[in-house]
A and B are shown apart, each in its own frame.
Chain A
Amino acid sequence: MKARLDEQTMALRVAREFKDGMIINLGFGIPTLAANFIPEDKEVLFHAENGCLGYGPMPTTEEEENFHLVNATGTFATHKPGMCFFDHAESFSMIRGRHIDLCVLGGLQVSEKGDLANWVTGVGRPGNIGGAMDLAFGAHHLIVVMTHITKEDEPKILKQCTYPLTAPRCVNLIITDIAVIDFTPDGLVLREKAPGWEVDEIQALTEPKLKISDDLKQMEI
């Protein structure tokens, strides 16, 4: 079994996409971890659906935990100079009105057209749609970070999603534990591969045909 990136390393790779001045919204799981890896020379602001822009990192002591300051994953955040609060309608005006530069979400399935399914499998209990659908429709740029295949070794990057969609044609970039794949008008382009992984091995775990970037690199981690 070849080594795959762990969650922290995937989060680190996500944070490399942060550009100076960006307003960023991070979803549950690995996306949230990316807040720990902001490049030192860049200033970014994090947006939380529950009405906060510019919140600080998670508290490091129990004294800092404040029930009036949680992020959209329900985790405690901290005060940071310049932050502001607003209500949910205002918050989703920011999202729907395309004021969020970058959103990072987890994924269950992504299609070659850039369709995202990430909230429910369509069987069993009702899923948690939360703010994911508004973000997928509204963010300027959407990165999906997820493992390349399921626990049952099924591909998650498919010709067509089989689970109910979060949004059609919304994904701009996929970062997985073995590859970085770009969505271009010409289709899926393999841009980076994890250390030790070959193109044909990545293709074998990906249902649609990947184009190979002229500039294919090994992920820098």
Chain B
Amino acid sequence: MSINKVVGSFDEAVADIFDGAVILMGGFGPANGTPSNLLRAVAKLGVKNLTLVANTPGFGRPAPGTKSFRKTPPNYDDGGLLIQSGQVSKVICAFPGMSRPGMTAPLHEKWEARELEVEMIPQGTLAERIRAAKAGVSAFFIPTGAGTVFEEGKETRVIDGRNNVLEYPLKADFALIRAHKADRYGNLVYQGTSRNFNPVMAGASRVTIAEVDELVSLGGLDPEAIVTPGIYVDRVAVRQNGV
């Protein structure tokens, strides 16, 4: 058996993440598409000065004695964990999180303390810049952002009578993604809206690491239904008993 992307543990899966790495993280809201175990392993690894790229970096863990303002899946952690632990120096995202009383994301606290830089990107531009990194697209023009603050410092061009902004690929060192099932080639399928950014990020960084619920044998995934072809995946780490 010469191709086997399955690694023995989440710790092993993230062991080469280094200080200053740029990390893509899948997930959206409280959906189950967040690689909670990989994030906990990165927290344990203790690497610092990370740049975290995610739609929503996350709310982290509620303060001791308080409950989360929203329901989350069992054994859930999000990127907020790494912000709370002080491992993240920059966040690139579309949705930092609400900042109402009782719903304050750790991002806001660190940002106000000037311990964290935040770069905002419209959600669709974020997805397309990540896709461009995967797809070898050197740059692309899109109308989103023309005539707004997101145009500042960028090349613009009128195409078909519409103003457009030139956007570049968002390149990263690691992608931490979450899928439902995998085989040893790294082919992946997802569940419902837990898919979100995960297939976009797979293959968009130098190393893509997938956290999955279940490993199946080759042939166990319908080739017509595979969402992420294994070519984009470098490592697969499997949850035990679904958590």
Contact = CB atoms under 8 A, between A and B. Distances in A.
Given A125-B111, A133-B144, A70 B122 contact: no
Interface residues of A, number: 40
Interface in A12-47: none
Interface stretch (A82-90, A143-151, A194-202, A210-218): A82-90
Nearest to B190: A85
A89 B232 CA distance: 16
Nearest to B227: A87
Interface string B123-163: 11101101100000000001111111110000000000000
Contacts of B18: none
Contacts, number: 144
Contact of B147 (A49, A125, A168): A168
B193 A130 contact: no
Given A95-B124, A96-B124, A128-B98, A88 B148 contact: no
Interface stretch (A2-10, A61-69, A104-112, A179-187): A61-69
B124 A92 contact: yes
Contacts of A69: 192-193
Interface residues of B, number: 52
Contacts of A130: 94-95, 122-123
Interface string A165-186: 1111000000000000000000
17 contacts: A50-B193, A50-B196, A68-B32, A70-B30, A73-B29, A74-B28, A74-B30, A91-B127, A128-B95, A129-B121, A129-B122, A133-B125, A134-B124, A134-B125, A164-B148, A165-B147, A167-B148
